[in-house]
Structure 1
Amino acid sequence: MASVPMTELSDRARDIFRRVVDGYLESGQPVGSRALARAGANLSPASIRSVLQRLEELGLLAAPHTSAGRMPTERGLRLFVDGMMQATEPSAEERAQIEARAAAAGPVEEALATTAAALSGLSACAGLVLVPKHEARLRSLGFVALGPGEALAVLVGEDGAVENRVVALPAGMTPGALVEAGNYMTATLAGLTLAEARARVTRELAAGRAALDGAAAALVERGLAVWSEDGARRPVLIVRGQGRLIDAAAAADLERVRDLLDDLDGKQEVAQLLDSAAAGDATRIFIGAENKLFALSGSSVIARPFRGANGRVVGVVGVIGPTRLNYARVVPMVDFTAATLARLMS
């Protein structure tokens, strides 16, 4: 549905609309004509009701039920965010908290996670960070038999990270060949990335230089393929602060919260959404049904890409929360966090 041009609204209508949106975003509750009159709208309740009716006809406001007051629709929120919102920059204390989390000693992934947690705490939303899957260098890779036809491939990276995958064993695989495959990979591929390791194995097998029997060679190829395919299709999505999505206002709408938490469990879909925000430099705001993933839960996502030393986009940071989140405060906070992470990655 196309947005309503600001020129279609009179000064009176814009004032009433802004007051309704501000009141709703603050309380999560519909705003009535009497409350608007008491708040200084300088009109009688009857005149205010007439303006509210017009705003409802334009699709900017809705009444959840009779005599409940009005609340902005997703279309109304889009108009507010694009044309009326007055951003509030993060305070010195908030900026310091975000910078301290990003600068904490430890692996980059840990800094990203703690920064997402800080953003979650300050915004009262869930914090999100999406980065390409880290291509670890191998320290060792071994295989442990699980049962008929299956083994556990255990990868240890140079950074100490350990990952496990279940792989199917080639026909004719013996316990000795299982050990042989692991020894070959650790001795030959240590220090290489997965892509480099896979390329070397392919070359050595093709040239007949790998001292492996057929079953062991097949297992080496299969084990590397499992990690390579998994890493290629799954970036790292860090989510922190899901519990903040269940606040007092959400208690009356637990079904929506349940839908949202289910959506967050589908990390591949969330990653694809955030990845779409990496296409430009600006902050992207997805409100409710503007994105199919969060249409049922009625949630909003604010996301901004950040760049590394070479100027390329290396990740996306943002938040997810109810559509009634404080856009004027949260959008600048996401912008500042993206700038902080860009400095971290440079």
Structure 2
Amino acid sequence: MTNAPIHELSERARDVFRMVVESYLDTGLPVGSRTISKLPTVNLSPASIRNVMQDLEEMGLLSHPHTSAGRVPTEGGLRLFVDGMMQAAQPSQEERAAIEARLERGGPIEEALAAATAALSGLSACAGIVLVPKREPVLRQFAFVQISPVQALAVLVGNDGSVENRVVDLPPGISPATLTEVGNYVSARLSGLTLSEAQGRLVEEIRAGKAALDRAAQELVARGLAVWSEDGARRPVLIVRGQANLLDQAAADDLERVRQLLDELEGKEEIARLLDRARSGQGMKIFIGSENKLFALSGSSVIAAPYRGGDGKVVGVVGVIGPTRLNYARVVPMVDFTAQALSRLMA
């Protein structure tokens, strides 16, 4: 049977359903009628609660994992709870301070994003994820260090202080002196430009005869710049922190699901594509279990929110991945606050 809309549930059914979900999210255990009947605000007998839970099961909102066990919410039930019943709890002052402190350390933007993701992971007890803005590094310095007769290490220093190395093949006729000449040329003539701008400038200067480099050196510069452009297009732009949080005590009885989730986290490009879907929205995206094919096997949830650059446009996505048994009321506002903090950082 398909899941019932919230307005089709009686007040008694809504109350019982909410208590079952909240108890399950808190303990991770199936919830029985006696557990609900002992709550201080409940004035129903265990038998009456069992009848309501049976009705909720027939509606597709609860399931009965074992013959003698209580009920747990289905993925559809969790979706109904998150969309229509959850009362979000704003992050505490300590939680907000912990996230903001990670963003105030300075350094390259990727380091700040990784730090914020680690803080979010620790506070939510999930794996933290952030989709890094797709942006080209701006050249400050560029050098080649020969490592064999046919290969050199291309070293790029960005304006943000980042340093990256790539191995490139050397064209014939390149001497150590030429490598030094090429590095000096790039640092002097192309510094302050993005990779695409540097490639365009190089083409213009070669065409105009202003490159002051022989053909072999020109080829090496073009090859060195291209290796970053090609790598950047393929590189996963996803940072994942806190996978160990997924191995908590509650996971002891469900290790296969956790193993599957950790395997899925290795596929960063797939997750990056999933998070890209959150770019198009104006706010929070919540994917619960098999609502997304990527996490259908592990039964995991993703909570993600976009963050914006100085022009107000969405530049990335931050969020968490964890079991469907998440404290959604606490984690959703926490992800939202982190996205707002990153937007202030990027402004």
Is TM more than 0.5 here?
A: yes
- How far residue 173 of structure 1 moved from its aligned partner, in angstroms, is 4.5
C-alpha contact (below 8 Å) 2:31/2:71 kept by paired residues: yes
Aligned to 1:75: 76
Deviations 1:204-246, CA, capped at 9 Å, x for gaps: 2233332334333223222211211222444642322222111
Question: Alpha carbons of 1:101 and 1:144: their partners in 2 closer, same or farther (altered >3 Å)?
Answer: closer
Rounded Cα–Cα distance in structure 1 between residues aligned with 2:215 and 2:80: 65
How much does 1:124 deviate?
1.5
Q: Which residue of 2 aligns with 1:11?
A: 11
Q: CA deviation at 1:289?
A: 1.3
User: What residue ranges of structure 2 are gaps of 5+ in the alignment?
Assistant: none
Alignment CA distance shift 1:112-1:2 (3 Å): farther
User: What TM-score, normalized to structure 2?
Assistant: 0.90
Partner SS state of residue 39, structure 1: coil
- Asked whether the equivalents of residues 108 and 161 of structure 2 are also in contact (C-alpha less than 8 Å), the reply is no
d(CA) in 2 for partners of 1:116, 1:305: 13
Give the drift of 1:148: 6.6
1:8 is aligned with what amino acid?
E
Question: How many corresponding residue pairs?
Answer: 345
Provide the residue aligned with 1:92 in structure 2.
93
1:35 is aligned with what amino acid? T
The TM-score with structure 1 as length reference comes to: 0.90
Query: Residue 248 of structure 1 aligns with which residue?
Result: 249
**Deviates most, 16-25 or 3-12:** 3-12
Amino acid corresponding to residue 166 of structure 1 in structure 2: V
Cα deviation for residue 328 of structure 1 reads 0.7
Separation (CA, whole Å) in 1 of partners of 2:221 and 2:106:
36
- Tell me which residue corresponds to 1:209: 210
Change (3 A) 1:104 1:151: closer
SS of alignment partner, residue 129 of structure 2: strand
* Counterpart AA for 1:286: F
Asked if 2 retains the 8 angstrom alpha-carbon contact of 1:125 and 1:321, the reply is yes
Once residues 307 and 89 of structure 2 are traced to their aligned partners in structure 1, the CA distance between those partners, rounded to angstroms, is 21
Q: Deviations over 1:279-338 (max 9, x none)?
A: 122111111111222222211111111223221122222111111110011111112222
Amino acid across the alignment from 1:247? D
- Looking at structure 2, the residues matched to 252 and 165 of structure 1 have their Cα atoms a distance apart, in angstroms, of 44
- Identity fraction in percent: 69
Q: How far is the alpha carbon of 1:81 from its aligned partner?
A: 0.3
Which region of structure 1 is more displaced relative to structure 2, 32-41 or 283-292?
Answer: 32-41
- Aligned mates of 2:293, 2:149 — CA distance in 1: 43
Unpaired runs of 5+ residues, structure 1, are: none
Separation in 2, partners of 1:56, 1:111: 45
Deviates more, 1:107-116 or 1:278-287: 107-116
Residue range with higher mean Cα deviation, 176-185 or 96-105: 176-185
**Is contact 1:140-1:155 (8 Å) kept?**
yes
Q: 1:180 to 1:3 in 2, by over 3 A?
A: farther
Q: 1:302-317 alignment to 2 at 5 Å?
A: 302-317=303-318
Paired residues of 2:32 and 2:69 also in contact (CA < 8 A) = yes
* 8 Å contact from structure 1 (residues 133, 235) kept in 2: no
Letter in 1 for 2:37: A
- The answer as to whether partners of 1:143 and 1:153 remain within 8 angstroms in 2 is yes
* Secondary structure, counterpart of 1:249 in structure 2: helix
CA-atom RMSD in angstroms: 2.4
Cα distance in structure 2, aligned partners of 1:150 and 1:38: 73
Give the alignment of 1:16-55 within 5 angstroms: 16-39=16-39, 41-55=42-56
